[in-house]
Chain A
């Protein structure tokens, strides 16, 4: 919950609501990108961004090397699978 997980924005789902699809480790889910969008970085420019995802909200943009390093630490801490499982969710709670 606290460490979050790096993921890549692969698609904008709803530009007005700032919802996008993010992917990491073969898991895709809808995330909120409002905290990484501003005048200098509009919604449409988010596709391809690596972000730090905290409980379904992209909280920061990071570069790809940072994403890879963070994923490795998560995996070594044994947190990676739990985070991916939680992200994937059960059928009922996925949108």
Chain B
């Protein structure tokens, strides 16, 4: 039991492991039970703590699309680079986005070629750059789910209040709920239940997931990030399956409430509206899955300010991220895994960040082998 050594409470981990095995005996599945962890943070934890290896072989984690860096499509990276290459522009971005491949290289390569691209920790740092460089045009590369959506919105509200004219945002914020629905609608669906994201849920609450249980009859348990949280949440999903129940449950109640964070939701509602559709790397176009600025904030919208090329660029043909994301393939079963696609030279989305399933598997499974 080498893995259990790192759990904070070994006895509890061992008990949960036994109870999960007992539940699987009770369910007697005809095929392996697939549980999707939606959030990339959970994916990272599952690999880091070897949680899959603790489970009976009848239970499989499917690593979902919850890494906003990973699912950025190449066309959006190309657009971002086109903006960054303008001589008057300083592009400010989270470090995570620097290595995401576009069709002609990454932001890192554009920076090496002379584009003024700066890594920031926060959108408020990007706004500070605009204040200190009034002669330049500062564009913040806004990305992430509802965990980072409020921070971009609040920064835009601050820019408006202080009339900062040389600040705008290239908005790539996305929302996970329509994507869960798209996965549930996929004809090959084999997923039996979900671990819901922790920090997205901290903002949006648990109510937006109710349709998963009511309409699709699948259990969803919002989970924390500690290894014991993940095990306990999995147990809760399996308990529901064994009981024939489908409910939204909250294992992470110490952080997540039913209604979410009201101030963050107000900022989101004030600044953004849903896009008709948004492109996801590996999953294609998903209706209502992205946000853009409302007309009232058009001045802060880099897409309107710079008329980006907005070309749709297909994922590489050899890429099988879509199959991995929907649970049809495991990461190492992709034909490019670990050969032409590695964390140092990612081709597919899931190899880009430590929260992507392929990068996590490469880091913890391949290199340990």
Contacts and interface: CB of A to CB of B under 8 A. Distances in A.
Interface of A: 1-4, 17, 29-30, 32, 34-38, 52, 54-57, 59-60, 62-63, 66, 69-70, 72-73, 76-79, 82, 86-87, 89, 92-95
A41 B35 CA distance: 38
A52 B202 contact: yes
Contacts of B95: 82, 86
A33 to B, nearest CB: 10
Contacts of A69: 8, 226
B121 A93 contact: yes
B100 to A, nearest CB: 12
In terms of DSSP, what is the predominant structure of the interface of chain A?
Answer: mixed
A32 B6 contact: no
Given A2-B199, A56-B124, A56-B125, A77 B144 contact: no
Interface stretch (B24-32, B147-155, B181-189, B339-347): B147-155
Contacts of A59: 147, 150, 199, 202-203, 261, 264
Nearest to A74: B225
B122 A70 contact: no
A12 B8 CA distance: 34
A82 B150 CA distance: 22
Closest 10 CB pairs of A and B: A56-B122, A57-B151, A86-B121, A93-B125, A35-B263, A55-B122, A3-B41, A35-B264, A1-B96, A55-B151
Contacts of B45: 73, 77
Contact of A34 (B40, B154, B255): B154
A35 B154 CA distance: 10
A60 B317 CA distance: 42
